[in-house]
Amino acid sequence: MTRTPAEAVAYAKTITKGYGGECLKFVRTCFDVPAKYETAADAREHATKFHATSSTAGIPVGVPIFLGVNHVALYMGGGKMRTTNSKTGKVSTVPVTSWGSEYPLRGWSEDLNGVTVYKANSNAPAKTTNTSAAGGVDVRKLQRGLNLVFPAYSHLDVDGVYGPKTTAVVKEFQKRSGIKATGKIDAATKAALKKVGVL
């Protein structure tokens, strides 16, 4: 089964070496997508939902990004990518701009090798239930962060709804953090979430 963007990011972090000259193999492995095209350039050309851009602003975390003529990497957020390096034989997280003018950002894609790896959220305004429990935080940011930082127990839909599923994951986080498990985002919970990079 294809990994979600959050799962692909978590998996990518476990890979630290190899894939020299095989950037497409690395990214498709992160998503658990089968082989189809020989090169990153072919994968980009055949992507049906490719978004051309030279800026990382607005690129969702955990999607394939394409650079230069023939390179693909996994976007990690914050202007960084998880990428292979054929010169060092290592896989690392580096700024997208660190590869210089030879590898400019070309854009990102919702599909890879004919498989959808990212589904855009509806453009409808987010509905937030149980607003008081959310403690004034951006619920979508909270859900994304929990999925990314705690993939072992957080598999939330990033829908902006502070409902039973999000409450249950927050309770689990509170238990593991030694905070009273109320499911509400109070000051202590907010501070703990910020400390681990969720918020």
pTM of the model: 0.61
Domain 131-195 has CATH 1.10.10.1100: no
Do residues 160 and 109 lie in contact, with contact meaning Cβ atoms separated by under 8 Å? no
Segments of the chain assigned to CATH 1.10.101.10: 131-195
CA distance 20 to 5: 23
CA distance 79 to 118: 18
CATH topology of domain 5-116: endopeptidase fold (from Nostoc punctiforme) (3.90.1720)
Per-residue pLDDT of the chain (199 residues; tens, 9 = 90+): 789 999 999 999 999 998 988 999 999 999 999 999 999 999 999 999 999 999 998 899 999 999 999 999 999 999 999 999 888 889 999 999 998 888 999 999 999 999 999 987 533 444 445 556 788 888 888 988 998 999 888 888 877 788 888 999 999 999 999 999 999 999 999 999 999 999 8
**Which of 188, 197, 6, 38 is CA-nearest to residue 113?**
38
Segments of the chain assigned to CATH 3.90.1720.10: 5-116
Q: Distance from CA of residue 96 to its chain's centroid?
A: 15
